[in-house]
Chains A and B, each alone.
Chain A
Amino acid sequence: MASKAVYSQHRDPLLKKRDDFEDILEERRKTSDLRYALRCYTPALYKGLTPCTVSDLKTMVLQSDQLLYVINQVSKETGTATDEIQLEAEAILEEMAHRLQLTTVRFFAFTLSKIFKTLFRSICVNEEGIQRLQQAIQEHPVVLLPSHRSYMDFLLVSYILYTYDLALPVIAAGMDFMGMKIVGEMLRMSGAFFIRRSFGGDKLYWAVFSEYVKTMLKNGFAPVEFFLEGTRSRTAKSLTPKLGLLNIVMDPFLKGQVFDVSLVPVSISYERILEEALYARELLGVPKPKESTSGLFKARKILSENYGSIHVYFGQPVSARSLAEGRVDRSQFNLTPRHIPSKPSEGIQDFVNDSAFRLVRSQEENMVLKPWVLLAALLLQNQAAGNKLGVLVEDLTEQAVWLRDLSRQFGAFLHWPDHVPPSRVVSSSLSLHRSLVRVSEGRVQLNSESGSGFPPAAMTPEEELLSKAVVVLSCASYRNQVLHVFIRAALLACAVHSVTGSRKQEIFNTFSFLRNMFSNEFILRPGAEVQDFEEACYLLVKSAVLQIHQQEVLVTDSGHRTLAFLTSILDPFVQGYQMVCRFLCEEATETLTENQFVPAVRKFFIKHLLTGGLKYVEVLSSDLQKNALAALLRLGAVQKLRGGADQGTLKVNTVMVNSLEDTLGGKLPTQKTLAARL
């Protein structure tokens, strides 16, 4: 079964077999782009497809039992005539719907070819994945789930599908794109449909939206594409999946309206992200520029730079049916008409959540890692260690080779050219990322002056710190790409490190405490504690770092280097969370609201960074701060007040926050009770 691949990969990462890549730009560089854009396009379609036009689709949605039911319901509640609500629904659909047409696609095929060729060295695609996808498209309705790191993502996926003569997807896009007038419309004509960012209580909107997606899926109109992560990850770490759309696409299967749905995770890895510096500044609190067509033109200066290569890996299609097997009792839908909308039961929510995590993890696992990712991890650790002079290139190379071997042992999908001497690999990586690193006198260090946009002269210490932070955060966004490989082992390493003694049970307690603490930060599947622990043990035993006995966990002599690396890769996060806790205990006022939280924490952090009380510049990332707050909210150490004048005010349980901080710092042993509660 397709999904088996998802599970089994965790057992022995070394046995993971992955497909080879093929560069699709190579062909583009040789033959005419125009002919390519105009070529005959006849994709294989879903076998159960009932051919219909874009406007048929709209009619089907507007006449669906589900929508009619909601229209009646809303009409009863508000006293508005159904005709009016029907019109409203039509307007919503009009605003939302895509208008996929081939001419626009051909236009994009042409222009994107030109752009891609200037920007990227290569776009590598696993052809076997494409073949599997082609099979899947014919068999069952398909949902494409790409990772989301850049605006480029969905254009890229459509471009690739066009190149391989596959059915073009319809893509759920955020409404903010619509702000860009012409581009918005063009995206619409290339298959994007637009959803409002929030429509919490709007029943009608939800009904139109979900029915629209389901109709396209059930009829096999086109593969449906959306981003599980909901938004672009600014940190290059996978984001906790959003469940709304996954719930919608699972629904037709769960209610028996289609036999199965194939969920295809797609991993897109950029050697250099176009938005690199933009993200770092956004994380530091410089607001994100509003998407606008003119902004896009300004951004064209990026065209003159080299962004390396892109790897796109189409993962094994996961069958919704086999995910649900033994987990979901589908007969629970037998007793109410299926067109009456209902909130998914707890069991269904858990199932969808669990599936989402599995899918994001398989996205992660198939992300191609470039050597630079390892270098970034090493350089950041060096810098944090207080090495002002930078590291010798030879030392860096030696460390990189060591880390390469380690990450391979851990099952990383590393694209390290083995036929090239390591020194060459290192130097070419460094030169591609010269905006972030500086090599002088045989030493490498992070380029602290490159904060492009900050005037070099007359900088206050704070400005200097922020400009350094831009580089560090950019660098961290590369290091972050490898975190998913090490995270479980790193949690275990931290646990081993902080527990005095070697009792396995205690180590497990600390492990699950840390795991729970960081589950907003990393992709850690809810309820998979024991599995993750076993996996971490397995990896560390296999790489001869730990010896695990019945009751005891011992560190081998050769294991200290790995252990040190693993603890320090997690250290910025541990310290960041600790500091957030400290902030909440020391500085949080009675009236601190959720919106004020990030600026206040940032101020607090900057103060401590400048006085040297804080080692890691990267804790300035608002992502980390928000995740920490979310974790504390989840654990009940902080409460968010609702309603009234206090709306959004944070109420801090100082005792608990304090004890969490100490436990994170290893000052307190993980209390049984705490671990049990968490």
Chain B
Amino acid sequence: MKWNGWGYSDSRFLFNKKGQAEFTGNRYRLSGMIIPGLKDWMEGTFGANLQHKTQATVSPILFFFSILSIVSAAFVEELKSTGIPFSHEAEDRVFRAHGKKAHFTHFNFWFEKVLFINVTLFFFFFYCHNDVVKIVELACKHNVCLIPYGGGTSVSSALECPPEETRSIVSLDTSQMNRILWIDEKNLTAHVESGIVGQDLERLLNESGYCTGHEPDSMEFSSLGGWVATRASGMKKNIYGNIEDLVIHIKMVTPRGVIEKSCQGPRMSTGPDIHHFILGSEGTLGVVTEVTIKIRPMPEYQKYGSVVFPNFEQGVACLREVARQRCAPASIRLMDNEQFKFGHALKPQVSSIFTSFLDGLKKFYITKFKGFDPNRLCVATLLFEGPREKVLQHEKQVYDIAAKFGGLAAGEDNGQRGYMLTFVIAYLRDLGMDYYVIGESFETSVPWDRVLDICRNVKARIIRECKDKGVQFPPLSTCRVTQTYDAGACVYFYFAFNYRGLSDPVHVYEQVEHAAREEILANGGSLSHHHGVGKLRKEWMRETVSNVGVGMLKSVKDYVDPNNIFGNRNLL
């Protein structure tokens, strides 16, 4: 894995000697392919130029050598006696002091300001619930700050060490707690250690013919404990539910002791659900160690699909109708025009003349025959799951609704590529970084009647802010609707800009992101749908949940962790 960016070290985009884009490695469908459209798209969208490459950054190790490790000696001594392995290699520490996904930008720029960063001084691997109990006890005894660390895919600065923290900071790495402890086929549940990474969990369950169906876009790297701690949401939540619907039982170690329920009843009326103190607590109350999660038999049949709409408005109207009729497929996502173009740019080189002829014909049919404006049309990607017959029936129902809104079925292949892009898009960010392009994504949830307004306004706000802050090139500002609910939808925004000519791009980037979030809130969007609050969005918590709300959360924190041992300072 990469220390300063997303994903696997072997997978990345690069421009080959002929100036064509290529995706390396062999993990993804796109791996090893030439992507002829990407260069033009990058140049056209960002004004990026292959001649203007960012200078390579220096390894962080050089910089972190000078940071002294002042850890309470007594704590270290007692720890050694427990026999739990730990490390204080600099690179490990940096790795764990930050989320991977979001703060890629900071890595390239932060070295100038290295003194301001507080870095984890130690981190521990641990192997079971009892190890955790011991460490937490010790930390309480010696007043050491603990920061739980799962997959490290946080994009809310949740894993950054608070700069104001003066105690020793110890990172608790759950990655070695990755076993499925048991599977209960009668109740369709599995008891799993919290450190297990999404794809491993899914693979292991598949071996027994089951799945959880929880597939967040980060599932290659994110962990079960992380999902619980952030209230994660999966792509196929329409069938399987979000994490709060999936968990049956949670065991968490807090400074006060271990919290768990006494039974596994599917629903309880026992006062406010204590799981909901844990779900979304973002590591401020303790470490989730074991989770009992619902499982389902693996789906018999899967089918991708896609629909082209003449414009985004029609697309949203269709999604709304699908939600009204409660017939959403496992996943339904609507990309706007900019993302449609982007997806198009990522089409790999076609191997046969026949395919390219067919593509041309399709394009002709949609734009000329059906009169779709290529600068307005947008596309929805679909994923159906279930028994084959039901899938086909369901598919027809959805396509019928789409037709009412001017939607044309656009094939399985386009749908599948749409979902693959989700995984690949993160790698593209690293490519952008090489050519002065920085970008980020963020999400919100919003009532149906405001979906169009929020999409328009937030995109326009990003463009205006970039312009006001002196960005020389028009930014990429795009969105997609990724989830549908009865009363609203989840909207995902991407923005990226070419920062050539800016003296302080990170600052500009932060300002734009900040402005975009303000715009979301002003337009009736939520602070977060599934990324969480972390430290990045903390300032808006009070207006989001009211004074009393903050007070309630605070008093829980004060009881559970009076000395702020879990001192990552997220959320509040």
Task: Report B-chain residues with C-beta under 8 Å of the C-beta of A118.
Answer: none
Partner of A331, one of B449, B457, B524: B524
Query: B230-272 CB contact bits vs A (8 Å, 1 = yes)?
Result: 0000000000000000000000000000000000000000000
Partner of A256, one of B454, B468, B543: B454
* B11 shortest CB reach to chain A, Å: 38
Asked if A257 CB lies within 8 Å of chain B CBs, one says: yes
A256-B524 contact, Cβ under 8 Å, with A331-B543, A338-B449:
yes
Task: Report A-chain residues with C-beta under 8 Å of the C-beta of B456.
Answer: 259
Task: Report B-chain residues with C-beta under 8 Å of the C-beta of A257.
Answer: 453
Partner of A259, one of B450, B460, B468: B460
Task: Report B-chain residues with C-beta under 8 Å of the C-beta of A331.
Answer: 521-522, 524, 543
B449 close to A334 (CB less than 8 A): no
For chain B, the bracket of interface size reads 10 to 19
Asked if A634 CB lies within 8 Å of chain B CBs, one says: no
B449 close to A337 (CB less than 8 A): yes
Asked if A402 CB lies within 8 Å of chain B CBs, one says: no
B457 close to A256 (CB less than 8 A): yes
Task: Report B-chain residues with C-beta under 8 Å of the C-beta of A329.
Answer: 522
Query: B499-531 CB contact bits vs A (8 Å, 1 = yes)?
Result: 000000000000000000000011110000000
> In whole angstroms, how far apart are the Cα atoms of A496 and B557 in the complex?
62
A334 close to B524 (CB less than 8 A): yes
Q: Which B-chain residue is minimally distant from A254 (CB atoms)?
A: B522
Asked if A443 CB lies within 8 Å of chain B CBs, one says: no
Task: Report B-chain residues with C-beta under 8 Å of the C-beta of A338.
Answer: 449
Query: B411-449 CB contact bits vs A (8 Å, 1 = yes)?
Result: 000000000000000000000000000000000000001
Asked if A603 CB lies within 8 Å of chain B CBs, one says: no
Asked if A333 CB lies within 8 Å of chain B CBs, one says: yes
A256 close to B460 (CB less than 8 A): no
Asked if A330 CB lies within 8 Å of chain B CBs, one says: yes
B524 close to A333 (CB less than 8 A): yes
* B312 shortest CB reach to chain A, Å: 12
> In whole angstroms, how far apart are the Cα atoms of A329 and B523 in the complex?
10
> In whole angstroms, how far apart are the Cα atoms of A331 and B519 in the complex?
9
Asked if B320 CB lies within 8 Å of chain A CBs, one says: no
Asked if B461 CB lies within 8 Å of chain A CBs, one says: yes
Residues in B19-35 with C-beta less than 8 Å from chain A: none
Q: Which B-chain residue is minimally distant from A252 (CB atoms)?
A: B453
Task: Report A-chain residues with C-beta under 8 Å of the C-beta of B543.
Answer: 331
> In whole angstroms, how far apart are the Cα atoms of A444 and B543 in the complex?
68
Task: Report B-chain residues with C-beta under 8 Å of the C-beta of A337.
Answer: 449
A330 close to B449 (CB less than 8 A): no
B453 close to A256 (CB less than 8 A): yes
> In whole angstroms, how far apart are the Cα atoms of A331 and B460 in the complex?
18
Which of B453, B454, B461, B522 counts the most A-chain CB atoms under 10 A from its CB? B522
* A2 shortest CB reach to chain B, Å: 12
Residues in A223-259 with C-beta less than 8 Å from chain B: 256-257, 259
> In whole angstroms, how far apart are the Cα atoms of A334 and B449 in the complex?
11
* B463 shortest CB reach to chain A, Å: 10
* B542 shortest CB reach to chain A, Å: 13
> In whole angstroms, how far apart are the Cα atoms of A257 and B457 in the complex?
8
> In whole angstroms, how far apart are the Cα atoms of A105 and B454 in the complex?
38
Query: A1-31 CB contact bits vs B (8 Å, 1 = yes)?
Result: 1000000000000000000000000000000
* A22 shortest CB reach to chain B, Å: 30
Q: Which A-chain residue is minimally distant from B524 (CB atoms)?
A: A334
Task: Report A-chain residues with C-beta under 8 Å of the C-beta of B523.
Answer: 256, 330
> In whole angstroms, how far apart are the Cα atoms of A257 and B453 in the complex?
6
> In whole angstroms, how far apart are the Cα atoms of A351 and B543 in the complex?
21
Query: A322-337 CB contact bits vs B (8 Å, 1 = yes)?
Result: 0000000111011001
> In whole angstroms, how far apart are the Cα atoms of A410 and B301 in the complex?
80
* A62 shortest CB reach to chain B, Å: 19
A256 close to B450 (CB less than 8 A): yes
B461 close to A259 (CB less than 8 A): yes
B460 close to A330 (CB less than 8 A): no
Q: Which A-chain residue is minimally distant from B526 (CB atoms)?
A: A334
Query: B460-477 CB contact bits vs A (8 Å, 1 = yes)?
Result: 110000001000000000
Query: A47-87 CB contact bits vs B (8 Å, 1 = yes)?
Result: 00000000000000000000000000000000000000000
> In whole angstroms, how far apart are the Cα atoms of A613 and B123 in the complex?
94
> In whole angstroms, how far apart are the Cα atoms of A649 and B460 in the complex?
54
B457 close to A259 (CB less than 8 A): yes
Task: Report B-chain residues with C-beta under 8 Å of the C-beta of A333.
Answer: 524
Q: Which B-chain residue is minimally distant from A333 (CB atoms)?
A: B524
Task: Report B-chain residues with C-beta under 8 Å of the C-beta of A334.
Answer: 524
> In whole angstroms, how far apart are the Cα atoms of A329 and B460 in the complex?
19
* B284 shortest CB reach to chain A, Å: 26
Q: Which B-chain residue is minimally distant from A337 (CB atoms)?
A: B449
Which of A1, A257, A334, A337 counts the most B-chain CB atoms under 10 A from its CB? A334
> In whole angstroms, how far apart are the Cα atoms of A353 and B161 in the complex?
47
* B454 shortest CB reach to chain A, Å: 7
Task: Report B-chain residues with C-beta under 8 Å of the C-beta of A330.
Answer: 522-523
> In whole angstroms, how far apart are the Cα atoms of A331 and B450 in the complex?
12
Q: Which A-chain residue is minimally distant from B458 (CB atoms)?
A: A259
Query: B35-60 CB contact bits vs A (8 Å, 1 = yes)?
Result: 00000000000000000000000000
> In whole angstroms, how far apart are the Cα atoms of A260 and B460 in the complex?
9
* A220 shortest CB reach to chain B, Å: 13
Task: Report B-chain residues with C-beta under 8 Å of the C-beta of A256.
Answer: 450, 453-454, 457, 522-524
Task: Report A-chain residues with C-beta under 8 Å of the C-beta of B522.
Answer: 256, 329-331
A–B complex contacts, Cβ < 8 Å, 8 sampled: A256-B454, A256-B522, A259-B457, A259-B461, A329-B522, A330-B522, A333-B524, A337-B449
Going nearest first, the 6 A-B pairs with the smallest beta carbon separation are A330-B522, A259-B460, A334-B524, A256-B523, A256-B453, A259-B457
Query: Which A residues are closer than 8 A to B by beta carbons?
Result: 1, 256-257, 259-260, 329-331, 333-334, 337-338
Extra 11 A-B pairs, beta carbons < 8 Å, given A256-B524, A331-B522, A331-B524 = A1-B468, A256-B450, A256-B453, A256-B522, A256-B523, A257-B453, A259-B460, A329-B522, A330-B523, A333-B524, A334-B524
